[in-house]
Amino acid sequence: MGAIGQSLRRLEDRPLVTGRGRYAADNHAPGELHMRIVRSPVAFGRLRGVNLRAALAVPGVAAIWTWEDVRQVPPIDFRSPHPALEPFRQTVLAHDYVRYVGEPVAAVFAADAYAAEDAADLVEIDIEELTPYLDPVAEPPDFMPATLPGVRADAAVLRKGYGDIEAAFAQAYAVIELDLAVGRHTGCPMETRGAFASVDAASGVLTMDGTAKAPHFNRRAIAGMMDLPLEMVQFHEGHVGGGFGIRGDVYPEDVIVCLGAWRLKRPVKWVEDRLEHLIAANHSRDQRYRLRAAIDAEGLVLGLDAIIFSDQGAYMRTPALTVPDMACALLPGPYLVPAYRVAAHVRLTNKTPSGTYRAPGRYESTFARERLMDAIAARLGLDLIEVRRHNLIPKSRMPFDRGTDTLGVHVVYDSGDYAALLDRLMDHIKFPALRADLARRKGAGECVGFGLSIFVEKTGLGPADKALIEARPDGTIEIVTGAASVGQGIETAMAQIASEVLGVPIERMTVIHGQTDRIDAGLGAFASRVTVMTGCAVHAAAGALRSKAVEVAASVLKVAPGELSFLQDGVRTPSGTVMPLAEIAAYSLAAGAPLAAEGRFSVDHMNYPYGIHAAVVRVDPGTCGVRVERFVIAYDIGRAVNPMLVEGQLVGAAAQGIGGALYEEFVYDETGQPQATTFADYLMPTLAEVPAIETLVTEDAPSPLNPLGVKGAGEGGITGAGAAIAAAIDDALGRPGAVTRLPVTPVRLNALLTHSTRSTNYS
């Protein structure tokens, strides 16, 4: 009924603009304790002891825990089983060894946050420092030499591929070799992590507020770790101040908060500070790519042979191998690449552990693949657009079997017309005129350049989702989902999908998410899955509700259901009278059951939106600063539920992508000390650095895998940003292949500019 496709204002906004939001830190209860974590100050060492005497004397301290207090708690497990990785799981407090600066060693509980921090400062940790392992390309040492002898800090080697790679190289006209790297980044939501746990004295139920991303999984995991029956543990999601993949995994601190409330019989509140966030919440990216590509004389890639080194940091966290696995599976991207072989080495260094960050494995692999396309163009003297066009998978090959697996599913691109999107982008930016303008400016001495990148995203991870919907006599509709909100606007999107079916305006709808006591299952919000999976479940639920409404109305009116038709917000009889949905709900309730329905959606495959990022940059050779003058995102979403929200996702993601391309990086010194521990070191873009990002959202390739045709929007704004900006910097410098590493900081650019010889990246 026309709600899908409209840029409706969000249902979420009013409490958020009036200061009535309820984020993790906004929870309070009488008698609450504040938790402060004492963290390892060194990157690698043998933990010899912890002295709590002075800390325990601080007024207000209720308890301080070390490993001895939590030794019966099992290590934090993965979201799906990986027996081979079990030795590398993190325990909630360190024992035997500390493996990164920031690792939790002790937990202080005190009546006041200031007192907890005072006491934490007085905890003395005795560590025998050892030489840290910081370069994942170097031979891995033992993970914990004395206690796990022979277990190397080499978590896994992932191998994927298809086609005859040897034959491809045997018939190659030329071989291109590249060595590329993407730095260590994180999502860095504006709200730091936090949690609030309490035990209801009457029911004995433990509740945690402040969960995010995957409340149902987290509840099950933590109940299991605490050996509590599932029904004794409930997780509630309040407002969440950004997620980006890194918030909402099961972290040591979440477990200790719950354990604290359970054992100390008082509510426990934990809110980390920004320094802690930057060294203890998941990092991501930090991959090195060694690519060898066999090409023919026209620039067609015949085979791609890749070795990836993934710097996982100190432990394997809940996403396990998700990031390198997706990098391996999706590296070939939108191109034919008939033969492919990849090996990814996942190494455990003495840095903050890693997890997923928006477009995990794709930001990195797109940078690598698109650098390769630029290198092929440079090597053969081809146009950077034409070389890509030559390699693109044509529409006639859809659905296209990529020949790889990831996240437990085979990768089959469901729909797409990549060449058409490239044409549309070229039209949008008036490419010949843009190029001429840049040539003119270059001629006038300006250091400006253009670059672009093409990518395939993956969204709508299954396998299944469900939603409950109820129409009430007061005219409102409640939709209960197992999804999670990280600020992306899911209430509005879900309500629009239900409104499309029911005709009820979204303002009369309430959308529940992240409440484990309201629905027994839910996967949450990750992998750009909510609009696709939860959205289709809501669509099914609304359809079932509509059928039920017709049945109830038919029995009330004593007519056959087939004589009635559902229209805007009610049921119409053949005589033209209308029974509103609210009235039908009242009849249903009076007859003993609410007017409610359940909807389910399941799917075997992910779907694959695709996009192109184009960037124009200006390099200042004096300061080695790079200004992004123009940034354009072309993205085919299949079908947009709310174009305003889609554009919001794309633009916001692009700003993060620009950050990763030019500013953001976790750097460590040679002793493993993190050098980026404040917002003065980890430089996120401000308005001054982000240009007016242009979006060209198309709906050329709806997904055939779901009834709405929708694909996800959460990640496609960031995926190609690093690659496009790198190419634009090359062009500005007039040195193809100059950029081999992100971010292109002024220091790195200065090194490039003072390097007298041309790049030697091409063999």
Partner 1 sequence: MSDKTPIRLKVNGRNYDIVVEPRRNLADALREDCGLTGTHLGCEHGVCGACTVLVEGKPVRACLMFALQAQGKPIRTVEGLAERDKLHPMQQAFCDNHGLQCGFCTPGFLMLAVGALEAEPDMSDEDLRHVLSSNLCRCTGYQNILKAVRAAAKEMRGT
Binding mask 49-78 for partner 1 (x = CB under 8 A): ----------x-------------------
Nearest to 238 by CA among 29, 32, 26, 488: 26
Residue 35 CA to residue 14 CA, distance in Å, equals: 31
Q: Is 211 in the site for partner 1 (CB under 8 A)?
A: no
For the bound state, the minimum distance from the C-beta of residue 30 to partner 1, rounded and expressed in Å, comes to 14
**Contact with partner 1 (CB under 8 A) among 21, 503, 543, 746:** 21
Q: Is 31 in the site for partner 1 (CB under 8 A)?
A: no
Helix axes 362-380, 384-391, angle to 10 degrees: 110
Of the CA atoms within 13 Å of residue 487, those in its CB half-sphere come to 18
For the bound state, the minimum distance from the C-beta of residue 633 to partner 1, rounded and expressed in Å, comes to 10
Nearest to 288 by CA among 364, 351, 362: 364
Per CB under 8 A, the segment of 21-29, 38-46, 368-376, 540-548 that binds partner 1 is: 21-29
For the bound state, the minimum distance from the C-beta of residue 242 to partner 1, rounded and expressed in Å, comes to 4
Q: Is 690 in the site for partner 1 (CB under 8 A)?
A: yes
Q: Is 29 in the site for partner 1 (CB under 8 A)?
A: no
Nearest to 379 by CA among 302, 449, 298, 435: 298
Q: Which is nearer to partner 1, 151 or 683 (CB)?
A: 683
Contact 132, 78 (CB under 8 A): no
Between residue 600 and residue 639, which ones bind partner 1 under the rule CB under 8 A?
none
Locate tokens 């299952």: which residue?
A: 521
For the bound state, the minimum distance from the C-beta of residue 18 to partner 1, rounded and expressed in Å, comes to 6
Binding mask 469-488 for partner 1 (x = CB under 8 A): -----------------xxx
* Binding footprint of partner 1, residue count (CB under 8 A): 58
Per CB under 8 A, the segment of 9-17, 550-558, 722-730, 743-751 that binds partner 1 is: 9-17
Q: Is 17 in the site for partner 1 (CB under 8 A)?
A: yes
The 10 Å Cβ neighbour count of residue 405 is 13
Binding mask 715-734 for partner 1 (x = CB under 8 A): --x-----------------
Q: What DSSP string runs through 458-519?
A: -B---SEEEEEEEE-TTS-EEEEES---SSS-HHHHHHHHHHHHH---GGGEEEE-SBTTT-
Both tokens assigned to 80: 């799906």
Q: Which is nearer to partner 1, 95 or 630 (CB)?
A: 630
Q: Is 654 in the site for partner 1 (CB under 8 A)?
A: yes
Between residue 534 and residue 593, which ones bind partner 1 under the rule CB under 8 A?
none
CA distance readout (Å), 206 to 219, 410, 508, 523: 10, 39, 32, 21
Residue 260 CA to residue 263 CA, distance in Å, equals: 5
Q: Is 190 in the site for partner 1 (CB under 8 A)?
A: yes
Per CB under 8 A, the segment of 16-24, 123-131, 407-415, 598-606 that binds partner 1 is: 16-24
Q: Which is nearer to partner 1, 160 or 184 (CB)?
A: 184
Region of 489 on the Ramachandran plot (φ > 0 left; ψ -120 to 50 alpha; else beta) = left
Per CB under 8 A, the segment of 46-54, 422-430, 615-623, 641-649 that binds partner 1 is: 641-649
Contact 390, 376 (CB under 8 A): no
Dihedral (CA of 376, 381, 382, 384) sign: positive
The 10 Å Cβ neighbour count of residue 566 is 19
Q: Is 30 in the site for partner 1 (CB under 8 A)?
A: no
For the bound state, the minimum distance from the C-beta of residue 601 to partner 1, rounded and expressed in Å, comes to 25
Q: Give first-to-last CA distance, the chain, whole Å.
A: 59
Binding mask 660-679 for partner 1 (x = CB under 8 A): ------------------xx
Q: Is 644 in the site for partner 1 (CB under 8 A)?
A: yes
Q: Is 273 in the site for partner 1 (CB under 8 A)?
A: yes
Q: Is 279 in the site for partner 1 (CB under 8 A)?
A: no
Residue 371 CA to residue 305 CA, distance in Å, equals: 15
Contact 40, 98 (CB under 8 A): yes
Between residue 226 and residue 265, which ones bind partner 1 under the rule CB under 8 A?
239-244
SS3 679: coil
**Contact with partner 1 (CB under 8 A) among 238, 522, 648, 709:** 648
Q: Is 687 in the site for partner 1 (CB under 8 A)?
A: yes
Contact 460, 528 (CB under 8 A): yes
**C-alpha torsion 646→649→655→660, nearest 10:** -120
Task: Write out the residues near partner 1 by the rule CB under 8 A.
Answer: 9-10, 12-23, 25-26, 59, 113-114, 118, 187-192, 239-244, 273-274, 486-489, 644-645, 648, 651-656, 678-680, 684, 686-688, 690, 692-693, 717
